[in-house]
């Protein structure tokens, strides 16, 4: 399973839908969608600023995350950005790998 940070912003059309349906119903819809794809919704919050929604989802793979992103974007009601989340243990493993890179001119 892979964790993704979700940042989403409603378009004016999406905001009208949110006003009509309410925040809780949208959270439940996202939870159901993610669970049907074999994942889980760890948290879901509304926020001020660049993002209207901040969430963390745990999904089986990158293809599932991509399907979620494309499906939501295709509605035109929400702009969504996914960021892969990396555990401290994964950073430890990465730090031990030799990549054989040399900086330009170095």
- φ, ψ dihedrals at 68, nearest 5°: -60, -50
pLDDT digits (tens, 9 = 90+) for 59-103: 999 999 999 999 999 999 999 999 999 999 999 999 999 999 999
CATH of residue 51's domain is 3.30.70.1060
Per-residue b/e over 68-93, b at no fewer than 16 CB within 10 Å?
A: bbeebeeeebbbbebeeeeeeeeeee
Does residue 69 sit within a domain? yes
Does residue 100 sit within a domain? no
In angstroms, how far is the first alpha carbon of the chain from the final one? 38
Residue labelled with tokens 């049907």: 36
Does residue 104 sit within a domain? no
What is the domain count for the chain? 1
Residue 63 is part of which domain span? Answer: 2-95
pLDDT digits (tens, 9 = 90+) for 45-67: 999 999 999 999 999 999 999 99
């Amino acid at each position: 399973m892979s964790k993704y940070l979700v940042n989403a912003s409603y378009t004016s059309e999406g905001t009208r839908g949110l006003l009509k349906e309410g925040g809780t119903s949208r959270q439940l819809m996202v939870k159901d969608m993610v669970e049907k794809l074999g994942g889980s919704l760890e948290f879901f919050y509304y926020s001020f600023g660049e993002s209207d929604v901040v969430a963390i989802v745990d999904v089986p793979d990158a293809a599932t995350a991509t399907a979620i992103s494309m499906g939501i974007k295709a509605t035109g009601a929400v702009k969504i950005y996914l960021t892969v989340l990396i555990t401290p243990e994964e950073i430890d493993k990465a730090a031990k790998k030799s990549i054989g890179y040399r900086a330009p001119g170095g």
